[in-house]
Amino acid sequence: MEIGRRQNTNRLRYYRPYARQTVFHEAGATFRERLFMAGNQLGKTLAGAAEAAMHLTGDYPHWWAGGRFDRPITMIGGSESHELTRDGVQRLLVGPPMSEEEWGTGYIPKAAIAGWTRRSSASGALDSVTVHHASGGTSTLLLKAYEQGRAKWQANTVDYVWFDEEPPEDVYFEGITRTNATGGSVAVTFTPLKGMSSVVSRYLLEPSDDRTVVTMTIDDAEHYTPEERAKIIASYPAHEKEARTKGVPTLGSGRIFPVTEEQVRIDPFEIPKHWVQIGGLDFGWDHPFAAAACAWDRDADVFYVTKVYREREATPIIHAAALKPWGVWLPWSWPHDGLQHDKGSGEQLAAQYRGQWWRWRRRPETRSRAEATGSAC
């Protein structure tokens, strides 16, 4: 009975992460921004809660190789709504929200909880928690919700931010801003059900020495047997299997057709010379510039996307240089906004790119050689 009580009131001492959770934790020693992108019910939120409790208390296990705080900190933890913050972040850190006598059975040890303030807008929800730190003094956990909007995330200067579930872009950047003065860090834990959103794209498509992403699939979750894994995978619709079991973002900004990526992807092959090929441009600055190369097998009536490119806040000369290896012979199309005039030069957007293409013109024999080297994937 006493052993059970101690375990319930000091869960942090008994936390033993899986291999992928360990990778996520250790990345905190190197990267300011971390994303733990995993399937449903695999342990991403649990890992986020255990690490948050360590930072708040300063109580790190002997095996810990992640980032550390040797002083009391201020932390923000939040999710999509006050109810979800209460039922996720608060429950795992403090205990069951509707049972105050059980507060202290989360990952913050009961003896470390110094006090709390309540939130009036959601039953059982807390606004803040004060936590004893091992170095002396107290840390402060502030519980917030994305639905409050970015303005409600502006007031505090903090050391650490934990986003549980994917935040809107403006809330995410406000969270990062709150850590600028302290040199703090940001951790994000979610299943990528919103597809290639701006936050997911930041991690996957915009490499940085300050940022990393760790993924975890259902095969990495040791609490499931092979039979249980098979049943779980079979329970999801086809277009959600990858996101819910592998932590793989759905195609685009939300998959439209109920097919998996494996069903539309093929191994690379050499494109026959008689196939029709074309490139397409979508102009952008804050909204990223994008391009795609396509090939059409008219005999089988199959359309292939062979290459893609995406970049934000770059000039035409940069984009043109990136697309040049696709082949100067490739014809291009663009939407009507290419007829708009650049505010700085007064020149049409399309004309700026057309000028770059003109400089690439090669001898006919070079063109035919480039046409012969295409591939599809």
Within 13 Å of residue 333, how many CA atoms lie on the same side as its CB? Answer: 6
Q: What are phi and psi of 190, to 5 degrees?
A: -165, 165
Contacts of 174 (CB under 8 A, 6+ apart): 150, 153, 154
* Euclidean distance between CA atoms 130 and 141, whole angstroms: 6
Give the CA distances from residue 337 to residues 137, 210, 280, 321, in Å, rounded to whole numbers and listed in that order. Answer: 58, 35, 13, 21
Q: What are phi and psi of 239, to 5 degrees?
A: -75, -5
Specify whether 165 is catalytic. Answer: yes
Which residue of the set 80, 165, 166, 242 is catalytic? 165
Pair of tokens at residue 372: 């012969």
* Euclidean distance between CA atoms 23 and 34, whole angstroms: 11
Q: Taking a C-beta distance cutoff of 8 angstroms, is the pair 298, 243 a contact?
A: no
Q: Taking a C-beta distance cutoff of 8 angstroms, is the pair 37, 215 a contact?
A: yes
Phi-psi group of 135: left, alpha or beta (phi > 0 → left; psi -120 to 50 → alpha; rest → beta): alpha
Pair of tokens at residue 7: 């375990």
* Euclidean distance between CA atoms 332 and 338, whole angstroms: 12
Place of tokens 């470390």: 112
For residue 211, the tally of other CB atoms under 10 A from its CB is 16
Pairing of strands 185-190, 211-216: unpaired
Place of tokens 């663009």: 334
Q: Taking a C-beta distance cutoff of 8 angstroms, is the pair 64, 25 a contact?
A: yes
Q: Taking a C-beta distance cutoff of 8 angstroms, is the pair 337, 309 a contact?
A: no
Catalytic sites, residue numbers: 165
